[in-house]
Structure 1
Amino acid sequence: MTLSKLITDRDGDVEMKKGKQFIIISSILAVVSTVIKIYHDTNFFKVQPVHIQTKKIPKGSSFSILQLSDIHNKVFINNNEMFINKVSKINADVIVLTGDLIDRKTKELVHVFHLVEKLIAINPRVYFVSGNHEWDNPKREELFNGLRNRGVILLDNKSRTITLANTRLTLIGVADFTTQHADLDLAMQSREQADYTVLLSHAPDISWMLADTPIDVTLSGHTHGGQIRFPFIGGIVAPGQGYFPKLDKGLYPMKNGKYVYVDSGVGTTWFPIRFLNQSQMSLIKITGE
């Protein structure tokens, strides 16, 4: 074997070894980055801004709704101190809790009651509609009574009209649609005339029933945004919608200038992680145009 042949073979082995090292290091970095991202998305929250313009309220006027959905008894660092402080700084006109405050497996209500007490102290306008996990939990009546006693307004199949500055807002609530507790007709019966109407429904599945109603925007949760998402694909699966859901996360325009907004939520269930889908609260701002 010639010297040049030996050198060529040695250089080839070196390049192959470097290639393997690069693949190994890249793989390790990818795994570590994924783990870090999962931890961040699951344990640190963000505020998701949502802006809707309408001709139904005076031009230049506005109001804001802070939506908290699918908390599933989640407790962030320092007993939710940062979470509560953020709610306080946002200073929304209304706070809505769109279901699944607890998980079906939740046995103690201490954390959720602590959270709602803090919310009520920040803003007495706190409204709640139930989700499927409330109805699946044997402590649901204890939860519902505890919320009432702390000043939270339960809107399961009810409505409430309030005045915000120079705008009359009607909030209509339905109990969980997926467990067949929703009664939209009953909720609409007590509705008053208002400038703008918002429906609170834990599951967005009810949206097909809303075309001929005066509801302007529906605020939902339930899907967790798929909880685990992938680039260019989005959520892989969502409850009630199966694989590759159409209404999994974000603002969806409907007919006649109506919208459905699906909040991907705060907590987790079944599989306790989030990926490319950070825990969030949503700040919905309605502005007259």
Structure 2
Amino acid sequence: MLDILITIIVIAALVLAWIMLYDSNRFVVRTHTVTDRRIKKPCRAVLLTDLHNKQYGKKNERLLAAIRAAQPDFILAAGDLLTANTKDSFEPALHLMRSLAGDYPVYYAYGNHEQRLAAARDVYGDMAERYEAGLGSAGIEPVVNGHCNLPEQGIVLYGVEIDMEYFKKLRPEAMDPGYLPGLLGQAPKDAYTVLLAHNPDYFPQYAAWGAALTLSGHVHGGVARVPFWGKGFIAPTWRIFPKYDGGVFREGDAVMVLSRGLGSHTIPVRLFNPGELWVIEFRPLTEP
């Protein structure tokens, strides 16, 4: 009986290890469509988050092929395309950005890893400056507490960089109602407002500020997802079964698409949780 039990445990461990290896090296493409009267023209975006220098094939050829197959009008990056680590090269992230910027407009808002490079220069030296210079050479100017107008589409894209205190472990820091307007000004009423906000914990605050669509990442889908139940197990903040783990969430009329991301770092595995590449379709309320 004991031999049978040990055999079952060993087989189960091998199966889980194979699934972990498989899920850690693949991604799936998901699509979400938003429809609004303020959107003037149909368009399509691809959302990238939490790549963490991961490469799918040589020079990310598999990822680039999937992005091009989606035929986006522009690229939206919601942060953590690199990992803040002095021992890692950020060249995979830069190569991807250079490759995409040659074909599409790229709108890039930073995550906590990009922020960390600048916030802790005593640790990371000139990595922030070198990364920004690399983006600049590709023609990409990060959207940091600012916005870009897409008047033909009727869309305004905002990128928010919240203070590092809002990325604390275990317990989220309370956010004052005046904090986001202080960073971003007031959301326009006559355009469809898209907010690139890496940390999804503050989706209610993003919605209250005026974001019609929030695009987030950070949680990596909870690293491992519980089969059948589908909940993510743990967030980077070490909270178990986080409320916002991946997928589409709503606050009134506001929507958040939370990507499970494409890579990993501290816990460098995925289980029942492949990477995600999101395609966002923008549609007028009544298409011509």
TM over 0.5: yes
User: Are positions 1:46 and 2:46 aligned together?
Assistant: no
Aligned equivalents of 1:117, 1:186: Cα separation in 2: 32
Q: Determine what percentage of the aligned residue pairs are the same residue.
A: 27
Instruction: Assess if the C-alpha contact under 8 Å between 2:206 and 2:214 holds in 1.
Output: no
What are structure 2's unaligned runs of at least 5 residues? 118-123, 168-174
Q: Report the counterpart of residue 154 of structure 1 in structure 2.
A: 142
Aligned equivalents of 2:207, 2:154: Cα separation in 1: 22
SS of residue matched to 2:154: strand
What are structure 1's unaligned runs of at least 5 residues? 1-15
The amino acid that maps onto 1:278 is P
Tell me the alpha carbon deviations over residues 86-112 of structure 1, each in whole angstroms, 9 at most, x when there is no partner: 111111122111111111115423222
Q: Report the counterpart of residue 88 of structure 1 in structure 2.
A: 68
The amino acid that maps onto 2:272 is L
The amino acid that maps onto 2:158 is I
User: Are positions 1:267 and 2:263 aligned together?
Assistant: yes
**Stretch moving more, 131-140 or 88-97:** 131-140
Task: Find 2:108's aligned residue among 128, 148, 156.
Answer: 128
Richer in strand (by share): 1
Aligned equivalents of 1:131, 1:176: Cα separation in 2: 9
Instruction: Assess if the C-alpha contact under 8 Å between 2:181 and 2:209 holds in 1.
Output: no
Task: Find 2:239's aligned residue among 229, 239, 242.
Answer: 242
Aligned equivalents of 2:85, 2:68: Cα separation in 1: 29
Q: Report the counterpart of residue 5 of structure 1 in structure 2.
A: none
Pairwise CA distance, 1:178: 3.9
Q: Report the counterpart of residue 114 of structure 1 in structure 2.
A: 95
Matches within 5 A, 1:133-144: 133-137=113-117, 138=124, 139-144=127-132
TM-score normalised over the length of structure 2? 0.82
Aligned equivalents of 1:176, 1:131: Cα separation in 2: 9
Query: Residues 135, 217 of structure 1: CA spacing in aligned structure 2 closer, same or farther, 3 A cutoff?
Result: same
The amino acid that maps onto 1:288 is P
Pairwise CA distance, 1:270: 0.5
Max radius of gyration: which structure?
1
Instruction: Assess if the C-alpha contact under 8 Å between 1:197 and 1:216 holds in 2.
Output: yes
Instruction: Assess if the C-alpha contact under 8 Å between 1:158 and 1:190 holds in 2.
Output: no
Aligned equivalents of 1:95, 1:31: Cα separation in 2: 39
Task: Find 1:79's aligned residue among 42, 51, 59.
Answer: 59
**Stretch moving more, 61-70 or 220-229:** 61-70
